[in-house]
């Protein structure tokens, strides 16, 4: 970290820390107002869609409220579904700080789960703390290597990270299936090929007093840490500069390559940890049920959060809540399960379109004078 600091030209820091008066307030206000406006418009558009197919939007939103947030049971349901999404969203948001779009978190997720299951089986008999720590490290290491390789391909060979991470997700899933049904298969897992069940003391339980496993807390802490690193450390600051303009950052002597490797590896470690938690807290072994699309939902959440690690927490809760309510919507309103996908798609587009308002919303409303975009 200290080495990083010495490479940073102080003049840049000064420039950033001493902004045009009112600029910070304007940005903060917009950063909240614009996505909020986009969400409201998206929810409204979806309401029109629901009305067009002959159902009641009020009933729909009431069910989403009840099924996702309105009761203690619903809220816990939402938090349970949110747990893996917090970490898979970080797998997108961290590389995005450098301007990289990584969409293959699903691969790191399933490999993280596989590594955890293999480690847990290998260490059976060890104390619980040791087992869980080793599983977490193994999963994060394999996930980190996987997405780190995407960063390395990008930096050393110029291979586009969006494409390579996607291809590697397919390869990761094939590898996981191969190991679960081949070398790592528990012979007793007859009709659902799985790795051997984890020893009981390696399982991760619920947060006391709640029906939500510890993965939720881990995800929240990870987002907070990522947010802190980005906004309060020179490391995060260097990344923000490199993300703004890689060439300028390189000219200024920033180690862009090391930043890319560090951020992609951290991203993969986050998704890998999500896989570890899914194995240790939910599945109890690695098997094909790990392929549940959490990596892909994480992309949606990261973009809804506009790649801000702190904003991932509310956005993941929003999406988790919508998914938690999906079953109720299906059963009560006779709407297909894909209703939730349509809502997610509309919200996604609305948030992206709203980006175009940044720097223009408040001036347009006459609240501030026009600042430099």
Interaction with another protein in 269-288: which residues (CB under 8 A)? Answer: 278, 282-284, 287-288
Go through the chain and tell me how many residues it has: 373
Instruction: Select from 16, 23, 40, 178 the one that contacts another protein (CB under 8 A).
Output: 178
Least separation in angstroms between CB 57 and another protein: 14
* Of residues 7, 256, 296, the one with CA closest to residue 152: 256
Joined together, the tokens standing for residue 159 give: 């291979």
- The count of other CB atoms within 10 Å of the CB of residue 287 is 23
Least separation in angstroms between CB 148 and another protein: 15
Stretch that binds another protein, among 135-143, 169-177, 259-267, 364-372 (CB under 8 A): 169-177
Q: If binding is defined by CB under 8 A, does position 345 make contact with another protein?
A: yes
* Of residues 158, 164, 306, the one with CA closest to residue 230: 306
Joined together, the tokens standing for residue 93 give: 């948001």
* Of residues 192, 212, 172, 187, the one with CA closest to residue 121: 187
Instruction: Select from 103, 261, 266, 274 the one that contacts another protein (CB under 8 A).
Output: 103
Q: If binding is defined by CB under 8 A, does position 193 make contact with another protein?
A: yes
Number of residues interacting with another protein: please give it, by CB under 8 A.
74
Instruction: Select from 72, 200, 365, 369 the one that contacts another protein (CB under 8 A).
Output: 72
Least separation in angstroms between CB 166 and another protein: 6
Query: Any residues with CB less than 8 A from the CB of 176 and at least 6 apart, and which?
Result: 110, 111, 113, 114, 286, 290, 291
Rounded to whole angstroms, the Cα distance separating 175 from 291 reads: 12
Q: If binding is defined by CB under 8 A, does position 368 make contact with another protein?
A: no
Applying the rule CB under 8 A, the residues between 28 and 67 that interact with another protein are 59, 62-63, 66-67
Q: If binding is defined by CB under 8 A, does position 190 make contact with another protein?
A: yes
Nearer to another protein, 224 or 333 (CB): 333
Query: Any residues with CB less than 8 A from the CB of 171 and at least 6 apart, and which?
Result: 107
* CB of 196 closer than 8 Å to CB of 185: no
Q: Which class for 11: exposed (0-12), middle (13-18), buried (19 or more C-beta within 10 A)?
A: exposed
Q: If binding is defined by CB under 8 A, does position 223 make contact with another protein?
A: no
Nearer to another protein, 8 or 206 (CB): 206
Q: If binding is defined by CB under 8 A, does position 300 make contact with another protein?
A: yes
Applying the rule CB under 8 A, the residues between 302 and 321 that interact with another protein are 303
Q: If binding is defined by CB under 8 A, does position 177 make contact with another protein?
A: yes
Rounded to whole angstroms, the Cα distance separating 342 from 338 reads: 6
- Integer-rounded Cα Rg, in Å, for the chain is 22
Instruction: Select from 24, 32, 355, 370 the one that contacts another protein (CB under 8 A).
Output: 355
Partnered with residue 213 across adjacent β-strands are: 206
Least separation in angstroms between CB 13 and another protein: 26
Instruction: Select from 138, 259, 299, 301 the one that contacts another protein (CB under 8 A).
Output: 299
Instruction: Select from 31, 43, 101, 133 the one that contacts another protein (CB under 8 A).
Output: 101
Applying the rule CB under 8 A, the residues between 226 and 265 that interact with another protein are none
Partnered with residue 36 across adjacent β-strands are: none
Q: If binding is defined by CB under 8 A, does position 26 make contact with another protein?
A: no
Instruction: Select from 30, 75, 77, 241 the one that contacts another protein (CB under 8 A).
Output: 77
Nearer to another protein, 232 or 258 (CB): 258
Joined together, the tokens standing for residue 179 give: 């190991």
One DSSP character per residue, 332-356 reads HH---TTHHHHHHHHHHHHHHHHGG
């Amino acid at each position: 970290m200290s080495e990083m600091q010495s490479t940073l030209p102080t003049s840049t820091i000064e420039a950033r820390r001493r902004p045009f008066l009112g600029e910070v307030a304007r940005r903060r206000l917009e950063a909240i107002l614009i996505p909020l406006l986009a969400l409201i418009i998206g929810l409204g558009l979806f309401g029109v869609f629901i009305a067009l197919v002959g159902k009641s939007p009020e009933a729909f939103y009431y069910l989403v409220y009840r099924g996702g947030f309105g009761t203690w049971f619903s809220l816990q349901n939402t938090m349970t579904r949110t747990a893996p999404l917090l970490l898979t969203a970080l797998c997108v948001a961290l590389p995005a700080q450098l301007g990289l779009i990584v969409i293959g978190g699903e691969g790191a997720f399933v490999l993280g789960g596989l590594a955890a299951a293999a480690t847990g089986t290998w260490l059976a008999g060890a104390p619980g703390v040791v087992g869980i720590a080793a599983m977490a490290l193994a999963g994060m290491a394999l996930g980190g290597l996987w997405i780190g390789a995407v960063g390395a391909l990008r930096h050393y060979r110029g291979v586009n990270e969006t494409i390579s991470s996607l291809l590697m997700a397919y390869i990761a899933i094939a590898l996981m299936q191969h190991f679960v049904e081949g070398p790592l298969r528990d012979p007793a897992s007859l009709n659902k090929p799985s790795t051997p069940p984890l020893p009981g003391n390696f399982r991760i339980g619920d947060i006391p007093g709640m029906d939500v496993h510890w993965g939720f807390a881990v995800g929240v802490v990870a987002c907070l840490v990522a947010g802190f690193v980005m906004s309060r450390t020179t490391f995060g600051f260097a990344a923000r500069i490199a993300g703004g303009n890689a060439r300028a950052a390189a000219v200024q002597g920033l180690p862009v390559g090391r930043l890319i490797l560090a951020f992609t590896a951290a991203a993969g470690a986050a998704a890998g940890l999500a896989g570890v938690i899914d194995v240790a807290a939910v599945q109890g072994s690695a098997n094909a049920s790990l392929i549940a699309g959490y990596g892909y939902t994480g992309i949606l959440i990261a973009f809804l959060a506009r790649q801000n690690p702190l904003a991932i927490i509310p956005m993941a809760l929003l999406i988790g809540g919508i998914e938690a309510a999906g079953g109720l919507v299906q059963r009560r309103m006779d709407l297909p399960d894909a209703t939730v996908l349509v809502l997610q798609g509309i919200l996604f587009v609305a948030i992206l379109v709203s980006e175009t308002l940044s720097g223009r919303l408040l001036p347009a409303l006459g609240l501030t004078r026009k600042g430099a975009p």
